[in-house]
Amino acid sequence: MKFTTEQIEFLKYYVYIYMDPDTKEIFYVGKGKGNRVFSHLKDDSDSEKVKKIKMLQADHKEPVIEILIHGLENEETALKVEAAVIDLIGLDGLTNRVKGHYSKLYGRIGVEQLIQRYNNEIAKIVEPVLLIRINQAFYYGITEQELYDATRARWKLGLRREKATYAMAVYEGIIQEVYTIAGWFPGGTTYNCININSNVDTSRWEFVGKIADETIRKKYLNKSVAHYFKQGNASPVIYVNVD
């Protein structure tokens, strides 16, 4: 099975889905152009997607393949649609290994968070603070505990850390939460729901604390601190008013 040259020209970029023929459950979401949609049927990799397809074929069945949307002018648009579909279904119900490429930037998000992302209200910090970027760990729907654990551990820090009163979780330049720091411990010595099996690393540090008082949260939550991160500075932690 394949598309003709004329069909490929008409389809342009598209987003497609693979479904179980019996349950009609979607188990894979992809994007592409040309005959990309059929390539998985001949894939010999060890991926969960291929295992699912081979399991169906061993039972003399074939996956149901549907084009979810076509006629997209470029790959960037296809990537955004793919990310939205994956976010809607959730990775737990799919054989996709990762979320779509644009999921974190353009994917599923609450309207309040969306407004906060683009309101560009600038935070003017006066307290001694650590700004901690958690761009890799953050995702839509992250739990309170996951956000706390992603923020507090495990960082390469000097003695100046002891002078900070607050730690702020920062995603894409926006303050997601503010924590009052109670104390510092060597990396891996306190329970962390994200790094449960991590070994102790005395070259890194993690704090324990609690969500800051409401007056502090209202002062800073959802405001931009992008101006504190100088262009080209890849450090995940920035000291503010900590001398």
Full pLDDT tens readout for the chain, 243 residues: 889 999 999 999 999 999 999 999 999 999 999 999 999 999 988 889 999 999 999 999 999 999 999 999 999 999 889 988 888 888 777 887 665 555 556 666 666 666 666 667 899 999 999 999 998 888 777 899 999 999 998 999 999 999 999 999 998 889 999 999 999 999 999 999 887 667 889 899 999 999 999 999 999 998 999 999 877 678 899 999 998
CB 206 within 8 A of CB 190: yes
Q: Greatest CA span in the chain, whole angstroms?
A: 69
C-alpha of 159 from chain center: 31
Same domain, yes or no: 192 and 205: yes
C-alpha span between 227 and 149 (Å, rounded): 25
Which of 73, 88, 106 is where one domain is finished? Answer: 106
Same domain, 93 and 119: no
Q: How many distinct structural domains can be found in the chain? A: 2
Q: Are 20 and 36 within one domain?
A: yes
- pTM flag (> 0.85): no
Choosing from 106, 131, 154, the residue where a domain stops is 106
Residues 66 and 122 in one domain: no
Same domain, 235 and 117: yes
Query: Are 93 and 143 in a shared domain?
Result: no
Q: Which of 78, 106, 134 is the last residue of a domain?
A: 106
Is residue 157 domain-shared with residue 64, that is, in the same domain?
no
| Cβ(239)–Cβ(160) below 8 Å | yes
Q: Are residues 128 and 12 in the same domain?
A: no
Mark whether 149 and 229 lie in a shared domain. Answer: yes
Q: Which domain holds residue 20?
A: 5-106
Q: Do residues 115 and 229 share a domain?
A: yes
Within this chain, do residues 144 and 209 fall inside the same structural domain, yes or no? yes
Give residue-wise pLDDT tens across range 88-147: 888 777 887 665 555 556 666 666 666 666 667 899 999 999 999 998 888 777 899 999
What are the backbone angles phi and psi of residue 153, rounded to the nearest 5°?
A: -140, 155
Residues 65 and 164 in one domain: no
Distance CA 29, CA 11 (A): 17
Buried b (16+ CB within 10 A) or exposed e, 165-187: bbbbbbbebbbbbbbebeebeeb
Q: Which CATH number is 82's domain given? A: 3.40.1440.10
